[in-house]
Amino acid sequence: MISVMPRLLDCSEATATSVLGGWLDSILDGPLQTFRVQAGYADRKSFNYLCARLRDTNVELVRLVLGGNQASLTADAALAALAAVSIGGEAGGLRVVSFSNGLFHPKTVHVRRADGSMAAYVGSANFTEAGLSGRNAEAGVLFDSRDGDPEQMIQAVEAATDAWFCDPMPQGVEVVRTQVDVVALTERGILRAEDTTTSRDRDSTTPKSARGPVRRPAWTTGQRSTSQGRVGASADAGAPVLWWKKLSASDAQRPPNPNTNPTGKLRLTKSRLGIDPKTFFRDELFGDLPWRLEQRGSNVYECTTVQFTVAVLGRDEGHFDLHVDHAPHRIADQDNIPTVLAWGSLGEQLRQRDCTGKFIVIERDEVGRFSLTIQDEPPTA
């Protein structure tokens, strides 16, 4: 008979050490061999966080099994999950499980560290911001071979995840290998096209009509706050958010090499600000806008159109609708900047006036309106 002494992870009183995200942070601080998750519900923000944390673990295999319950999983979440899987080796993968008469509902995490020790979580928290942060009141148990817990028990969690990767494939399982697969599953209705508020994913959203006291999360998925001006301010409705950078010659559509054509693009970088560019623009600055998927060759991009009030060097230029795209595969490819703004018709004005070395400032005000200003000096706090 196996004697098991798991630890209870109970966030009835939410603290940073009592929620699943806090435990994950401690696990992801060290080198890993493998990382596995089963989750009935999952969201993009949580996988963006996972990508940022897994990159430094030298993980060799990432396997994710996610619920496609009544099209609760969004296409952008699946793209972010693929980016996480790509950090590991080819033996990893992403599976989406969808049944017509029932839900895929397990919630487990299994890790194998570089030294061969293992740890696991089994509980109620889904792989969503609400589940990881403690916004939802969750409970679960933790197992760790370093603490003397039986390896057979922890390996059972690992095996339960791997069962969805067997051949022949269990019924109801969709294999997601590429971004093109994400588009195909979206067209079939297995994935949801847009990340809109819906009652189907109870874990990711709280209906605005909900009554009762507000539960404050103890840990915020993938966010690192900053006190520099309004940069990185809360993305809650009514909170202004600001970003700025100094324009290089290429940014200003004046490439140093006369034989090089202007890119027509502005890469949205960290600049000198305390933000994570892999998540800030997609999740915070432009997070509330409607996003759509666009396939270009073998790559899929998340795209939105932003209406800006524009001023250039003190002159009001009126309104411009500018295209912004975010590509999770850019995150996986050598840690590149994933979000890019297309200058559009504003690019012609930049080619007529040299703005090299000037400062671009993008701000979302308290009611969600966007402004884009090019000015001589950086903004003040």
- Pairwise CA distance, residues 354 & 45, whole Å: 38
For 185, other C-beta atoms within 10 Å of its C-beta total 22
- What is the predicted pLDDT for the residue at 222? 45
pTM of the model: 0.77
- What is the predicted pLDDT for the residue at 205? 52
Q: Over the Cα atoms of the chain, what is R_g? A: 22
Give average pLDDT by consecutive 10-residue segment, the chain, 381 residues: 70 81 94 98 92 91 96 93 92 95 96 98 96 92 95 96 91 93 94 62 52 74 40 54 94 86 91 85 90 86 94 94 89 73 92 93 94 94 60
Helix (H, G, I), strand (E, B) or coil at 164: helix
CA angle 104–110–114, rounded 5-degree value = 155
- What is the predicted pLDDT for the residue at 354? 92
- What is the predicted pLDDT for the residue at 11? 77
**DSSP output for 112-144:** EETTS-EEEEEES--BSHHHHHTSS--EEEEEE
| Whether 41 contacts 203, CB under 8 Å | yes
Strand 370-375 relative to strand 299-312, pairing? parallel
Residue 168: cis peptide before it, omega within 30 degrees of 0: yes
Q: What is the maximum alpha-carbon separation in the chain?
A: 79
- Distant-in-sequence, close-in-space partners of 62: CB < 8 Å, separation ≥ 6: 34, 35, 36, 54, 84, 85, 87, 88, 92
CA distances from 146 to 1, 118, 120, 143, 362 (A): 20, 7, 11, 9, 48
CA angle 198–326–240, rounded 5-degree value = 70
Helices H / strands E in the chain, number of each: 8, 16
Helix (H) or strand (E) holding 315: strand 315-326
- Pairwise CA distance, residues 49 & 194, whole Å: 20
- Pairwise CA distance, residues 241 & 35, whole Å: 34
- What is the predicted pLDDT for the residue at 348? 87
- What is the predicted pLDDT for the residue at 60? 97
**Please, what are the domains in the chain?**
7-188 (3.30.870.10), 241-375 (2.40.330.30)
Helix (H, G, I), strand (E, B) or coil at 36: strand
CA distances from 184 to 174, 212, 295 (A): 11, 41, 11
